[in-house]
Each structure stands twice: as structure tokens, then as C-alpha cells.
């Protein structure tokens, strides 16, 4: 489904929460309780975000995490690469020496274009955008069938 991993999904939820009080710090435990995600999992995610310089951390009592930059300067593309590595749809797009597929692959250049386009799309949305009130739902939404979340996340 071309989908993000759960961890990335969580990361964005966590960051959205933190973006609401930009300057304030939060502990892993606090974030876990607010978001409903298990503490060890939250820690794991926060650590990755710190490594990617998206969050800053202070250790020890009274420590915690805070955004390292303003939410306008944090893009979704950045968050995704922090959690999942470089954004690329195919293996052979990451390195270029890629595909030795006999005849099929004079395609690399074109894949590269697609990857670039997608990267741009993701880089054009910032955390600040995510926190803004959602635009009015399109008409189509209203006709959709409702499904309980439990069934989605198995």
C-alpha cells in the first residue's frame, strides 16, 4: 500500500502534540500517556528523532524532549527519513549502480524523477501545517463507509 510504518505514524502524532506547545519540554512518560503509545516504543521513536536533530533532549531529573527547531522548519520528509531512512520507492533508486535486470531497466532516470516529485511533496508540508485546523472535508468524505479503527490496526 505504499504505506508508512506504524512507528513513523506514531512519530508524527507525537510531534504534532509537541508542536502545540513549541517551547515546552515533555518527558517520554508524559508523551506516552497523552498519545496512548507504550513508553518503550515512545522512547525508541524519540531517540531516533533526537539523532535526526529534529528533537533536542536533556538528561537527568527535570529532563525531557523538546523540538530542536520551530515547527515550520520541520518537514514531513525530514521526519520520514529519520524513521525509515532515505525516501525512495525502489531499492535501485538509492544507489544508482542498481538494476542489472537484463532488458527492463533503462528506467532509472525516470524512477528518479518520480522519487524526486514525491520527495518534494513530502518536503512541502511542515509540522506546523499538520497542526493547523484541517480544511473542510471534501464532499466525497461524507459518503465513505465508516470502519472501526480496531479493524485497521488489526
Partner DNA sequence: ATGATTGTGTACCATTATAGTACTATTTAA
Partner DNA sequence: TTAAATAGTACTATAATGGTACACAATCAT
Q: Is 83 helix (H, G, I), strand (E, B) or coil?
A: helix
Interface positions, 82-111, toward a second copy (CB under 8 A): 84-92, 94-111
CB-based contact 76:126 (threshold 8 Å)? yes
Residue 26 to residue 34: CA distance in whole angstroms: 11
Q: Which is nearer to DNA, 23 or 61 (CB)?
A: 61
The partner in contact with residue 89, picked from a second copy, DNA, none with C-beta cut-offs of 5 to 8 angstroms by kind, is a second copy
Q: List beta partners, residue 26.
A: 65
Q: Which is nearer to DNA, 63 or 86 (CB)?
A: 63
Q: Which is nearer to a second copy, 33 or 58 (CB)?
A: 33
Q: Is 75 helix (H, G, I), strand (E, B) or coil?
A: strand
Residue 61 to residue 18: CA distance in whole angstroms: 20
Contact set with a second copy (CB under 8 A): 1-4, 9, 12-14, 16-17, 34-36, 76, 80, 84-92, 94-114, 117-118, 121-122, 124-125, 129-138, 141, 144-149, 152-153
Amino acid at each position: 500500500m505504499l504505506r508508512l510504518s506504524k512507528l513513523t505514524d506514531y512519530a508524527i502524532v507525537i510531534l504534532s502534540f509537541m508542536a502545540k506547545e513549541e517551547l515546552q519540554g515533555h518527558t517520554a512518560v508524559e508523551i506516552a500517556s497523552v498519545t496512548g503509545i507504550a513508553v518503550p516504543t515512545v522512547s525508541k521513536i524519540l531517540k531516533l528523532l533526537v539523532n535526526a536533530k529534529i528533537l533536542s533532549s536533556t538528561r537527568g531529573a527535570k529532563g525531557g524532549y523538546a523540538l530542536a527547531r520551530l515547527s515550520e522548519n520541520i518537514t514531513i520528509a525530514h521526519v520520514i527519513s529519520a524513521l525509515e531512512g532515505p525516501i525512495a520507492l525502489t531499492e535501485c533508486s538509492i544507489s544508482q549502480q542498481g538494476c542489472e535486470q537484463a532488458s527492463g531497466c533503462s528506467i532509472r532516470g525516470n524512477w528518479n524523477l518520480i522519487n524526486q516529485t514525491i520527495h518534494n511533496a513530502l518536503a512541502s508540508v511542515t509540522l506546523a501545517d499538520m497542526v493547523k485546523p484541517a480544511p473542510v472535508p471534501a464532499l466525497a468524505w461524507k459518503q465513505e463507509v465508516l470502519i472501526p479503527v480496531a479493524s485497521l490496526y488489526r
